[in-house]
Amino acid sequence: MTFFRSILLSLSLAGVLCCQVVSAVASFDGVFKAVEKGFVEIQVDSGDVMRMYLTHSTKFIRDGKPAKAADFHEGDKVTAEATRDARMNLLAVRIESRKGDTPKP
Read off the pLDDT of residues 20-33 as tens digits, 9 standing for 90 and up. Answer: 443 448 899 999 99
CA gap 83, 4 in Å, rounded: 37
Superfamily of domain 21-97 in CATH is: Copper binding periplasmic protein CusF (2.40.50.320)
For the chain, domain boundaries: 21-97
Q: Which of 71, 51, 85 is nearest to 96 (CA)?
A: 71
Q: According to the model, what pLDDT value does residue 21 have?
A: 42
* pTM, entire model: 0.70
User: What are the tens digits of pLDDT across the range 32-50?
Assistant: 999 998 999 999 999 999 9
CA gap 68, 2 in Å, rounded: 56
Q: According to the model, what pLDDT value does residue 69 have?
A: 93
